[in-house]
Chain A
Amino acid sequence: MSPFARFLSTAREALYGRHIPRLKSTGDTAITQIEAPERVRLAIAGQVAVVEVGETVEAGDLVARTPEAVRFQRRVHASLSGTVTALSQEEVVIEGEVPDRPPITHSEPDWISPESITDTAREAGLIGMGGAMFPAYVKLSRVAPIDVVLVNGCESEPYLTCDQRVLEEQRGEVDCGTVLAMHAVEAERGLIIDRETYYPGGYERLLIRDVLGRVVPARGLPRDVGTLVINVQSALALHDAVCLGRPLIDRVITVDGGAVGRPGNYRVPIGTEVGHVLDACRVDVSKSAAILTGGPMMGRLAERLTPVTAGTGGVLALTAAELSRSRTQPCIRCGHCMEACPFDLPAAYLAETPHKAVLGCVECGACQFNCPARIPLVERLQRAKAVVTAWD
């Protein structure tokens, strides 16, 4: 970003941006391994299980995979060492023990072909850990010329600090993962973005615009402007897969919120139930008014049985005060929603009148956060999007 562009954006923010507070309080809490869960539930929808009930598995063993003919390949590996106790079309339940994280030998291979990085990513079941959960190997293949790899460490969702902690504690591995990603797509440059940004500045399109000044075309992808964006923990997972031969079986999440007794950053096996996370972090159920997976802006309501997935950045137990609910009022046309929108969309209008511009909405919720009339804008925008999409 040129100094002038930076000045303009600062002035713009000062005069009419509407900011989402960072609310991050766990940024200094080192990552610790969460108390071992008794069991994990691994989601395998669309895949075929390769284990049976009663079978003994080691952590890292393949438990399900997509059939060869499927376009986007997925793999799921056991995240505990133990026994398969239940199996359905949707999930595999494993009871057992948490494996030790292998010591970091950190032997960067002397030479490795781009293809083998892509293959390893596919076999290790790497998926986008920023929330989209799309198979990582697809982006790591050379389908379009890529010159820059951006490692997204912005983590602009309030509360969440897990990516920041990973960057602080495991920078060497993230660097290595970045180099591997660059090598896989034969990019000349790699940038690890670890600066604080506005919400939702970590959103892929905005990151590319703010960092590189490139505009991803309408209905396009980052690769259309020669860019690959991966999340910090995806880079770490790529390192683990290539250098340690370790498939994707755990991730770091932030556990926070007013009802949490022991907030912090925890490494949890994929598939750990939210209920276990709550107990392990001493959540006061009587104080908590909502349990979420993900951040408070784009996260979802969770149940005790909801599993932590590779895309789950956090588990939050928010108090009523944090939720700050109030009854919905008539729209007073104040325009705060438009001021808050990173794409300058007039949410109040788009929520009422279907217009194709609503397709540019990323459902970040910045508008609704700032709406004094407490209108559920995101819900209405989602509905409007469905209407407009049906036009095509």
Chain B
Amino acid sequence: MTTAGPFIHSGQTNRKIMVMVLVSLSPSLVAALVRYGAGAGLVILSALAGAWLAELLLDREQAFDCTALVTGAIFALLLPPTAPWWLGLLGGAVAIGLGKHAFGGLGRNLFNPAALSRVLLMGVLPVYFFSTTWTIGGLTRASPLAKESGAIGPTITELLAGNTPGALGQAAPHAVLVGGLLLVLLRAIDWRIPLTYLAAVAFLALVLPASARIEGHAPWLLGNPLLHLVGGGSLVVAFFMLTDPVTAPFSPSGRIVFAIVAALYTMLVRFYTPYPDGAALAVLLANATVPLIDRATLARASGDAPLGATVLSTDSAAP
């Protein structure tokens, strides 16, 4: 026991924060289950199992702190409902093994484990991630952000109902939103990150100049901020991935810069590349800028701090 205070504590633990995140993820998981049925259930279970087993293998103590389950659940939200069970298992394990423990374990990873795992696996197994054209009402529909000629853009109602092809996390935007707002209210995440990210995405959707590719293949991507907010991975990224404290900047001002970087990258991919969505990649890119952002913002914060409070103790120095 230490002799210096404080002797009381808020009662908060890493584990409780992780449980809050898990609870907040559950509306999205349930929505995916309701929408896609057993297929989604298999994806979710396999991702959770993959992450948790990897954690158990690599750090037995941490395994009961729920961090691996959070990573597994987020990874599941990034998978299409058609993904095979072994992909969930593999992805969850890669997220924990390579994304977290390869960097030294909890608190030391530079990249969001789920995003890293998804990007790594997408590189070698693209077919399981991209085969997302569906037939709805007799028409072949692409995922809302896809740039393929012949597809039809989603309507607003379809978007809001999550009635578009995509990953599990897109099944119900309102479920993601409910979970995200819960996290903000529980103060388990910093509200600045989702707010800044979503605002920047909407803003960029309005002001970025169009490219020939979009104009030719997917004109509905233009002037449609709502599509960019709820289509693709924006909401999951905003509330559950960028907000992972370990891989976000430390200071409040740094977090705002960080969210803007992520939004910019997301929108550049959507507007100027053939890929449907850059949200997961944007998370990794923004993660990579964190050490830089931290150095800049913390040097400033420390410079502002009053110095010398300890020089001469005087009356009523203790509060």
Contacts and interface: CB of A to CB of B under 8 A. Distances in A.
Nearest to A216: B306
Interface in B243-275: 245-246, 248, 250-252, 255
Top 3 nearest A-B pairs by Cβ distance? A219-B308, A131-B318, A128-B315
A330 B108 contact: yes
A383 to B, nearest CB: 11
A335 B305 contact: no
Interface in A239-273: none
Contact of A362 (B245, B246, B310): B310
Interface string A340-379: 0001111011100001110111111110111111101011
A253 to B, nearest CB: 14
For this complex, into which size category does the number of interface residues on chain A fall? 35 or more
B245 A332 contact: yes
A231 interface: yes
Interface in B79-113: 105-108
Contacts of A290: 1, 7
B270 to A, nearest CB: 29
B157 interface: no
A323 B8 contact: yes
B317 A299 contact: no
A345 B302 contact: yes
B135 interface: no
Contacts of B315: 127-130, 132, 134, 136, 139, 229-231, 234
A294 interface: yes
A15 interface: yes
A378 B5 contact: yes
Nearest to A128: B315
Contacts of A71: none
A235 to B, nearest CB: 10
A329 B14 contact: yes
B312 A221 contact: yes
B6 A365 contact: yes
B309 A156 contact: no
A346 B250 CA distance: 8
B8 A300 contact: no
A296 B311 contact: no
A329 B65 CA distance: 10
Contacts of A330: 14, 105-108
A318 B10 contact: no
B314 A219 contact: no
Contact of A298 (B191, B245, B318): B318
Interface in B262-319: 298, 301-319
A359 B5 contact: no
A154 B319 contact: yes
23 contacts: A129-B315, A134-B313, A134-B315, A202-B316, A205-B309, A217-B308, A231-B316, A295-B5, A296-B8, A298-B6, A329-B13, A332-B106, A332-B107, A335-B190, A335-B245, A335-B251, A336-B12, A339-B252, A345-B305, A348-B250, A356-B302, A368-B9, A369-B6
B309 A362 contact: yes
B176 to A, nearest CB: 21
Contacts of B58: none
B7 A318 contact: yes
Given A219-B308, A345-B305, A369 B316 contact: no
Given A132-B318, A152-B316, A362-B309, A333 B248 contact: yes
A130 B317 contact: yes
A335 to B, nearest CB: 5
Interface string B179-193: 000000000001100
B63 interface: no
A338 interface: yes
Given A218-B306, A298-B319, A335-B252, A369 B8 contact: yes
B124 interface: no
Given A216-B306, A324-B8, A350-B302, 20 more contacts: A129-B316, A132-B318, A203-B317, A218-B307, A229-B316, A294-B318, A299-B7, A323-B9, A329-B106, A330-B14, A330-B107, A330-B108, A344-B301, A344-B305, A355-B302, A360-B306, A363-B4, A368-B6, A369-B8, A382-B4
A324 B307 contact: no
Contacts of A365: 5-6
A16 interface: yes
Contact of B250 (A220, A324, A349, A371): A349
Contacts of A294: 5, 318
B137 interface: no
B16 interface: yes
Nearest to A297: B6
A220 B14 contact: no
B316 A230 contact: yes
Contacts of A326: 9, 13
A298 B6 CA distance: 6
A164 to B, nearest CB: 14
Contacts of B301: 338, 344-346, 357
A305 B264 CA distance: 64
Interface-centre pick from B8, B191, B252 (highest chain A CB count, 10 A): B8
Contact of B5 (A216, A297, A372): A297
Given A203-B319, A344-B304, A361-B309, A374 B9 contact: yes
